[in-house]
Structures are given as C-alpha cells and as structure tokens.
Structure 1
C-alpha cells in the first residue's frame, strides 16, 4: 500500500463518514488541491525568501465560508515524524487554504493537529480504533462542529450522543403526570398536572457513565421545599448506555433512586395527601424514577415512571389502619439541551 492507497482507501472514506463529499456546497471534499502560490508562506515581503512548497495536500475538507482542515497521507511503511507534521503544516497554513486543523496518517495511525501547533497532536488513534473514535471526530472535525466552534474551547471528550458534546446544558422542559395511583384511599387529583424542568446539565462521571442533574419546579406551591427535603430536587439520573440513543425504537433508560428518612416532628406543607402539619411518625421510603427516551432535534423525549413506596414507622401505635403506601405516576416528558 502506497500513499495513494492510504488516501483513497482509508482517508477518503473517513472524510465522507465525517460528513464531507465532493461537490457538496456546504461540506466540500477537495482532493489533490493545486495552489497558485508555490511556496510555503512565512510572511516575508519578498516571495523569493519563502521556502518552496513540497507537493500538495491530499485532501481539503471545507465547510464553505466557515473553516477547513487538511489531510496529508503517507505510506504505511514509514513512521510519522515531526518533519511529516511540518510538511502538512505548510499546507494548512498556506494563504490559499488557511486551515484550522490538519490530519496526518500513514494508514496505521492517525494524528490531528491544530495549525497553530505542529509539534504536538491534539488527538490521535490507531486504524482499528477508527469506528470507536468517529463520534469524537465528528465533534472535532465534522461540519457542524466547524461551524459552531468560533472561539469555543475544543471538545475532545467522549460525546453524550450524536450531535452533542461531552457535556450539555439543560435549558428547559416539562413532565406531564398523565396517570397516577395511590394505595391510600385518597383522590390524588394529579392527572394532567405539568411540572416544569428549569435546568441543569448532562455529563459523564469519572467512570464514564452518563449522568444528568435535573431541576424540577412543582405545579403546587409549597411542594418545592418538600421535594428538596426529600431529595427529589435536583434529581440525579444515570444511564448504562454508552451513548444517549437517537433512535426512538431503541431508547435510553435513565434511572434515579432516592432513599428518604424523614423524622417525626418534621413540618410538612399541604400536599395532595393531606393538609399542612407536623409529621407524627418517622417516614422512610424507596423512591424509584425512570425516564426512557431518545434525542431528536436537541430534545430528549419519551416517557417516565415513578414508583414510590413509603413506610410509616410507628403508625400502628398511633392507631392508623395502614403502615405503608405506594404512589405510582407515569406520563410523557421533554427536555431541551444546549
């Protein structure tokens, strides 16, 4: 395999996978780009002092009117060297290209450099890792990433999902309590209630798990403080999936489990279960919430289920006919990311 084979069989398909195609007016893939000025531009007033440009870039991936990056292919038999980086750098910084990044590859390994620093790659991987690294590469070199970057810190962290970076801010959203049941003989009057989502963020923990901190405002005055006391605000969800799904047929499951322990004597505001007052017994509970959804148009949407089991410690001594109760709710939700 020679340089042309590396360029045609490995690099060109990679560029296409990142969203660049020949003749695309928005994300164009140009090959063997000829340059009118045949010297590497270093800023000399007299062009004869500029060093002669060796060769031409194998590919230029261009987001028209925004930015571009260059690809330089080498044959697999050579080890990528600093001189190879400098050669690709001359193409990237040439006045007729002015690229933001360049990619150097010998077909076995791939290295991405910022045009401003040819001495150290910002991202590198081996051929067999290409499919695994594609989501990160799209965040770095994809057309959408190139358009949005302007002055923004480069995100080479593992993406949360296709089209998202390694962290996302929650702008707003809502949950609708469509179906609600309680094991106590009370009418919850909750069907159709809509609670607002006001923040906060989605990120990866140190162990790589996707987590979401979600702030929710209750439709009932007084419940927000109680929810905070119970540990229901903000909610902390976690998912086992490697990426948040973008396929409604295969949604991502996010889960939250809160164990509560509220001592007797705690002041309780008026709720759907009764008037305000002082809690006459210890209240412990296991509160499980799950959200099953997928991403579409910068929104995570789907359905949720809550299943809360509460135990009233000492209720029997107070003459109450029950010592525990269960509340279950379900309905749709939508969360908008930035």
Structure 2
C-alpha cells in the first residue's frame, strides 16, 4: 500500500502539501503530535522573532519571516524541520536558505531540514545549505521509506545524539556534575488565549516561586533538571501533584549548560494531563471561585526554556503552549471544545 494516495498535484496549494504529504510522511517515520518520545509540531511559533541571536542589540538581527511548517523532534535529543512549498514553483536556493534559517534558529537548533513542493523532496544538513544530502521524487518515497526511517526516525536521531559521559562530567563551567536547586522565580510576562478572556491580562506580571530539586545527568549522559514550583494560586499545587505533574522534568541535548548569553541552552518539557469529570479545581484568575469539572478535559503542555549560566544562576526566557480539549457530548451546546493558551516570560533558577 502506498504511503500517499493518488493526488492531483497541479491543483494542490502549500497547505495541501503540508497536510496531504508531509504529515503522513512524518507519521510514517515515527513522529506524532504530543508524543513525548517523538513529537510532531506544526506551525511552530518562535518567541524570538529574529533569524539568530547574533548581537547584544537584538535590533541588529535580521527579522525572521514566517515560521517553520513542521518540527520533528526526539525530545531533548535532536530535531529536524520540514518546509512545504506549493507544487507550482520549483524548489530554489532561496527556499533552502529559508529552511536553513528556521533550522538554525536557537529555539529549534535542528540537525537537518527538508523541503518539498509535493513533487520533489530535498533533505539538507544544516552545515551545507547549498547542496542537498538527498533528493527524490514523490513517486520514489515508498521505496525509500525504510532508508529514511533508518536516517530520520526517532531511534536513528537518538543514536546520533547520544552523549558519551565522562566520570563526574560537570554540568557547565564552574558547576559540579550535579547540583541542588535552592530557589528562583518564574514571571509571566505575556499571556494570549484562543478565546478572549478578560481576566487573562491580569496574569501578566504574576510570579511563581521555584522551590527546589536538582540538576544532574541521566544514564545517557543528558542533562536533566527536576524542578519544584510553588504556584501563586492556593490549591493549584495540590491539583498538580495529584495529577503527577510535579516535579517538572526538563531535558537538554546540549553537552553542557551554556554560559554564553548569545548562544543559550534549550531545555524542554512535555506534559499530558487527563482530568476526568468531577475533578475539583481551585480558584484562579481564569477560574474565579473554582469548581468541579462537569466533563472530562485533556490537555497537552509544551514548555521551552532558553537560558544561560551566570555564576550559580541559570536564567533566561520561556514559552509555554497549552492545548485543552473539552470532551462534551455533541448534543450539548458549548462555546468551544478546544482552547489554547500561550504564556511567555522570564525565569531564574538558583543553584547551591
């Protein structure tokens, strides 16, 4: 059975290429949305809207146009980018440079990027945007799929990214191989929601406290941070702990935590939440008075923290993307069955 059903390529646009060709290919390679081991993200928003972090004065960095169509990532190991183009155009060197800009952005830091117009596929290493490492036609995809899995599949990406750990390898220059977290804070700077909520603006400036846990290396040599957070809302911590969400677990593929403000480290966390009907939730600015869920709710929460070491403090910026789904019977009217929220801000984590 062919990976791609018959298509009228001439009638397709860029969105058709993304939905009908790229998404099935990524799934066939082993990636899916919300998969904590091999995540597929689409239309990825970047917190820093410049092409790279090259200057202390961010105004000097070139503005980043658009956003990557897809990011396939083996979370905290490696990732690669896919860009869709409409079939009516021929893939060009400028298209390669655009894909390269997304792939090398500090919030993505991909190893490869792929371009396709639905007819032709090109795979590039980020170190060589002028010459594709592999080129093939749509009709050749089925035959190439086993080789593509061996090259771009989650296990292949993980094997290439594995870090060989030395005895007592430090976390960063000036830090030991493991350290305790003794404090810190997380500040909400900006919140946006898919449904207008008057109270959401009051979250801006809200501060959560970082209270403890540790940073160390796992058996693969990857740096892992276990972070305890005390919410600004009374009762929210008990709910999170009951759902098994604490401590928050962050991982990075960087060999060391960066001490360079212009080349920060990227740490990631993915959580899936399942809240059955009857779950009690506390009073917050978004839910004054609290209450009980009358229907099941599921949610995915994706967090990226970009930061650097300054003495015994790890600090930087973060973005959290929430996707909530309300499982309501179709015969019951409700304003929306899906809700998204994006939170941006700054953080500091103090080490012992």
TM-score (norm 2): 0.51
CA contact (8 A) 2:233 2:283 kept: no
Which residue number corresponds to residue 278 of structure 2?
265
Q: Quote the offset at 1:220 in angstroms.
A: 1.4
The answer to whether structure 1 residue 294 and structure 2 residue 313 are counterparts is no
* d(CA) in 2 for partners of 1:280, 1:334: 37
Superposition pairs for residues 15-164 of structure 1, below 5 Å?
156-164=167-175
Q: Quote the offset at 1:315 in angstroms.
A: 5.8
CA contact (8 A) 1:231 1:258 kept: no
Which residue number corresponds to residue 35 of structure 1?
none
How has the CA–CA distance of structure 1 residues 295 and 233 changed in structure 2, closer, same or farther, with 3 Å as cutoff?
A: same
Structure with max Cα Rg: 1
Which residue number corresponds to residue 187 of structure 2?
176
Q: Which runs of 4+ in 1 moved over 4 A?
A: none
* d(CA) in 2 for partners of 1:198, 1:292: 20
Q: Quote the offset at 1:319 in angstroms.
A: 1.6
How has the CA–CA distance of structure 1 residues 167 and 295 changed in structure 2, closer, same or farther, with 3 Å as cutoff?
A: same
Greater CA drift, 259-268 or 208-217:
259-268
Q: Quote the offset at 1:270 in angstroms.
A: 1.6
Q: Quote the offset at 1:185 in angstroms.
A: 2.8
CA contact (8 A) 2:236 2:281 kept: no
CA contact (8 A) 1:315 1:322 kept: no
Q: Quote the offset at 1:171 in angstroms.
A: 0.7
* d(CA) in 2 for partners of 1:279, 1:324: 15
Q: Quote the offset at 1:241 in angstroms.
A: 0.5
| RMSD value, Cα | 2.0
TM-superposition CA deviations, 1:155-190 (whole Å, max 9, x none): x41111111111010010001001011222312210
Which residue number corresponds to residue 221 of structure 1?
234
SS at match of 1:206: coil
Which residue number corresponds to residue 348 of structure 2?
334
The equivalent position to 1:311 in structure 2, one of 289, 314, 325, is 325
TM-superposition CA deviations, 1:14-64 (whole Å, max 9, x none): xxxxxxxxxxxxxxxxxxxxxxxxxxxxxxxxxxxxxxxxxxxxxxxxxxx
Superposition pairs for residues 169-248 of structure 1, below 5 Å?
169-186=180-197, 187-188=199-200, 189-248=202-261
The equivalent position to 1:320 in structure 2, one of 334, 338, 343, is 334
TM-superposition CA deviations, 1:170-229 (whole Å, max 9, x none): 010001001011222312210000110000100101111100000000111121112223
* d(CA) in 2 for partners of 1:293, 1:319: 44
Q: How many residues align?
A: 187
TM-score (norm 1): 0.53
Higher RCO structure (Cα 8 Å, ≥6 apart)? 2
Q: Quote the offset at 1:268 in angstroms.
A: 1.6
How has the CA–CA distance of structure 1 residues 178 and 232 changed in structure 2, closer, same or farther, with 3 Å as cutoff?
A: farther
TM-superposition CA deviations, 1:122-153 (whole Å, max 9, x none): xxxxxxxxxx99x97xxxxxxxxxxxxxxxxx
The equivalent position to 1:167 in structure 2, one of 174, 178, 185, is 178
How has the CA–CA distance of structure 1 residues 204 and 237 changed in structure 2, closer, same or farther, with 3 Å as cutoff?
A: same
* d(CA) in 1 for partners of 2:272, 2:195: 20
Which residue number corresponds to residue 96 of structure 1?
none
